[in-house]
Amino acid sequence: MTASSRGSRAASSFIRASSRHPRVCNECINSITSRRTYAVAAPVLKPLDGPPIQDPQLKNIPPVTASPSDAGEYKLKAGVLLSRPPLLTRTLTPFEKAFFFYQRRLNERLVMPFSRYFYFKKDTPADADWKLKAKDRGGAVARDLGGYSAYDSLSWNDELLVGDMLSEPSTTVDLLVKDSIVRAVEGKDGVAVEVAPGEAHEDETKVEQPLERVTNADQTKDLTRLDRELDRTLYLVVQRDSKGWGFPAGEVVGRENLHQAAERIIVQAGGINMNTWIVGNAPIGHHVSRPFKGDEKKSSKPGEKTFFMKGRIMAGQANLINNSFGLTNFKWLTREEIKRTVNPKYWNYVEPMLAER
């Protein structure tokens, strides 16, 4: 319990005790007890017994005011740090590739032996297809371990040599795609028939190639698309002719809070074709623009205090047509690209808000 609450309760109990007197009414009691709206340290301490104790430090403390002294010098603004999270895991280092490949081979040695007849019925096209592919792998069960056998005398030799490409993701993709091609189908008399390599068959399933990590937007260096830098976090930055590049921001209007202002600003800046989500009600950072004190020839200009709210985009794209802030261009940039684009002073404020990846 604070000192102010204890004092108000004591005063209330004292006055209410004397309210039996007809000259003190309940309205006066309520106004007296609720008149003090803030706590101020008392410069004089009054103990129960003895003379009062003077504290010179408490005399110099100014009273707490309801509004800051520079309220008229700054404009309160809300900004939006709208981001697209990474869609892919980051690229592995050579050591990590070799380590995970070793773990997969070690797993082959520790798991139970593969029971082929549990998954494939004897003398069926699926069973014949499995036999053909397992023969090419030297009898190994795993499809992407380079013919490694976990149950022979050389199963201990499960580490890769320097320069071996088996641990590369591209090699793994090629082996899995090759194993997905159907090589045995059912013939006219019900017997499984092997499909010759390169021979088209009506029952053969076409295997789609996996997508590359590098997209067309990466190759063309189109900074306005969201399908670029799939393993990095992208942030929406906009350009205003007079202030350069920065995150979308606008003034807080009326009694709206920062969360409500951020939702309004992202629609007024980027249009309604984005499915966005403002995360939380507390800002994750701020930017302060100092006021400009002009002379007779130059007019004064108030400063700005911008508090940034974290946002996510799930679908859609920004559209600056008929925006409310005079924005002329936008980009989806990574952390390093933002550093090269925005003002250095602006970067010092926003750098702690950005993710490393």
Asked if 73 and 303 touch (Cβ cutoff 8 Å), the reply is yes
So what's the pLDDT on residue 28? 60
Asked if 207 and 185 touch (Cβ cutoff 8 Å), the reply is no
- Alpha carbon separation from 55 to 42, 100, 167 (Å, rounded): 9, 68, 74
Residue showing tokens 């005398």: 153
Range 50-65 burial, b when 16+ CB lie within 10 A, else e: eeeeeeeeeeeeeeee
**DSSP per position, 236-282:** EEEEETTTEEE--EEE--TT--HHHHHHHHHHHHH-SSEEEEEE-SS
261: its two tokens? 């202002």
Nearest to 319 by CA among 276, 277, 274: 274
Asked if 233 and 85 touch (Cβ cutoff 8 Å), the reply is yes
List, in order of start, the domains of the chain with CATH numbers: 3-59 (no CATH), 74-88+215-294+301-353 (3.90.79.10), 94-194 (no CATH)
Q: Amino acid letter at 202? A: E
So what's the pLDDT on residue 291? 86
Which residues of the chain fall below pLDDT 50? 3, 14-15, 18-19, 21, 33-43, 64-67, 69, 203
299: its two tokens? 């007019």
103: its two tokens? 């773990």
So what's the pLDDT on residue 260? 95
DSSP H or E stretch at residue 119? helix 116-119
DSSP H or E stretch at residue 99? helix 94-110
What is the distance between the alpha carbons of residues 124 and 184, in angstroms, rounded to a whole number?
A: 9
DSSP-derived letter for residue 301 is B
What is the distance between the alpha carbons of residues 276 and 312, in angstroms, rounded to a whole number?
A: 6
What is the distance between the alpha carbons of residues 175 and 14, in angstroms, rounded to a whole number?
A: 88
So what's the pLDDT on residue 294? 66
So what's the pLDDT on residue 270? 94
What is the distance between the alpha carbons of residues 320 and 248, in angstroms, rounded to a whole number?
A: 11
